[in-house]
A = this chain, B = another copy of it.
């Protein structure tokens, strides 16, 4: 797949990987304060360049000023949050087992374990979040926080913004004393594949389509030395509304539904793709009116608009599908697509008959309303119809709880990384308890999250030190604990009690 790259281009990529590999050790050894300061420097630089960067983003992506300002702010906050994680040091999971001559299995040596950075990470930027999931986005912040050099593959959808953001990031890192291999930027699909295959690269991260993500995951797994690949791929984000919720606040649910589908022209991985409502919900006209009032929004780029046209046409042409709000998709003289909201209705029987055309992501402002009968086993429907998802949502009445609801929530937790109530899944908070991931095909590896502070653990591996002199131990494992990180101790004598200690 990389055989059409020139010798010169291959040499450039080789130099990138070499610089990242050379930067890995000194960057891994940075003190918590120095690494945190570098992350804060990037956050400050992004904020300082906000007007220029947002302007570029508007031109290249068609997203609104408000959205991009908010996204840039979120991206900066994300970096500061990871700086906080680095300073706190809990992520190192430092553990110390004191030597114990009376251990139940014979003398136990002094054992100390911590998590260390895996090494250079190639991070593939997404098209739909030109800040938060792109050059300086969540994967970059998490990898840098972990102490891994980042080699960033820019997205072709916002090339000028990508390159300019990369300059801002690189300059900020240099100003914070980091070497030029800590963060590097390149573009090109074949180049991305070549970099993923480079033996000096030790992990990959990606946000994008199932098709591209699967291709890259397969490449990462097929390397002579396989590496972990964290792809955030596609999601249908089913929503379930109870009859009580409809009775209490049907209209408000309907209008907020349309707003969630309309935002950013529906080009969000958490867009609610399917909303299950009880028969007799009577919300069609509210949904129709709300959808009609949404102005056309430019789609990210002609390729995505074309893909949306194909999926939208396919869904509209599926037998049994009826239109609630038809919406529009028009192309301007620059081949940019402009879309309004499309909502269609389909019965459960129609979904069953046309799984292939209906139960796949439509990346854009389209959602499918599904009526269920009063005696429908909704939890069973989830298992029957859905694979893994990033999110699953339930709208319930005040205080509503039943065995059926308990079962629905349990089944949803098997199919999604985040289960939410009485809200819409678009909008992902960046906090310690966020989970943005889920079983295949929501992600290529559901062991991690790509949003929230737990995202750092994807780029770490454990190393244990046995009987090691203090002077030869990594600082976080020394008795003197110069970085003052949390150390989990198993004292002598605790080893055989099986009473008090966790992991």
A residues in contact (CB < 8 Å) with B:
25, 70, 73-74, 77, 80-81, 83-85, 88-91, 93, 95-97, 103-105, 108-109, 111-113, 116, 118-119, 217-218, 221-222, 225-226, 228, 387-388, 396, 399, 401, 405-406, 409-410, 413-414, 416-423, 429-435, 437, 439-441, 444-449, 452-454, 456-458, 460-469, 471-472, 474, 486, 488, 490, 495, 498-503
In the bound complex, do residue A74 and residue B501 qualify as a contact, i.e. CB atoms below 8 Å apart? no
Other-chain contact of A221, B103, B221, B421, B486 (Cβ < 8 Å): B221
Other-chain contact of A490, B431, B495, B503 (Cβ < 8 Å): B431
User: Quick one: closest B residue to A231, CB to CB?
Assistant: B226
Chain B residues near A95: list those with CB within 8 A: 432-433, 454
User: Quick one: closest B residue to A393, CB to CB?
Assistant: B466
How far does the alpha carbon of A449 sit from the alpha carbon of B462 in the complex, in Å? 8
Chain B proximity of A349: nearest CB distance (Å)? 24
Other-chain contact of A466, B88, B218, B401, B423 (Cβ < 8 Å): B423
How far does the alpha carbon of A112 sit from the alpha carbon of B471 in the complex, in Å? 40
**Contacts known (A420-B467, A446-B461, A447-B447); A113 close to B226, Cβ less than 8 A:** no
In the bound complex, do residue A429 and residue B221 qualify as a contact, i.e. CB atoms below 8 Å apart? no
Chain B residues near A93: list those with CB within 8 A: 454
**Contacts known (A77-B104, A440-B226, A447-B228); A96 close to B433, Cβ less than 8 A:** yes
User: Quick one: closest B residue to A411, CB to CB?
Assistant: B25
Chain B proximity of A211: nearest CB distance (Å)? 14
How far does the alpha carbon of A218 sit from the alpha carbon of B88 in the complex, in Å? 38
Chain B residues near A25: list those with CB within 8 A: 410, 414
How far does the alpha carbon of A435 sit from the alpha carbon of B113 in the complex, in Å? 7
| Apart from the given pairs A396-B469, A420-B467, A449-B462, 18 other A-B contacts in the complex at a CB distance below 8 Å | A88-B502, A88-B503, A109-B429, A111-B429, A112-B433, A113-B433, A225-B439, A225-B440, A225-B441, A228-B447, A401-B471, A413-B465, A421-B472, A422-B467, A439-B461, A447-B461, A452-B464, A453-B503
In the bound complex, do residue A445 and residue B90 qualify as a contact, i.e. CB atoms below 8 Å apart? no
How far does the alpha carbon of A456 sit from the alpha carbon of B441 in the complex, in Å? 24
Question: Most B CB atoms within 10 A — which of A416, A418, A490?
Answer: A418
**Contacts known (A462-B449, A466-B419); A433 close to B97, Cβ less than 8 A:** yes
Chain B residues near A83: list those with CB within 8 A: 498
Chain B residues near A440: list those with CB within 8 A: 225-226
In the bound complex, do residue B445 and residue A228 qualify as a contact, i.e. CB atoms below 8 Å apart? yes
In the A-B complex, the 4 residue pairs with the closest CB atoms: A88-B502, A90-B502, A435-B464, A221-B221
Chain B proximity of A408: nearest CB distance (Å)? 9
User: Quick one: closest B residue to A83, CB to CB?
Assistant: B498
Chain B residues near A495: list those with CB within 8 A: 431
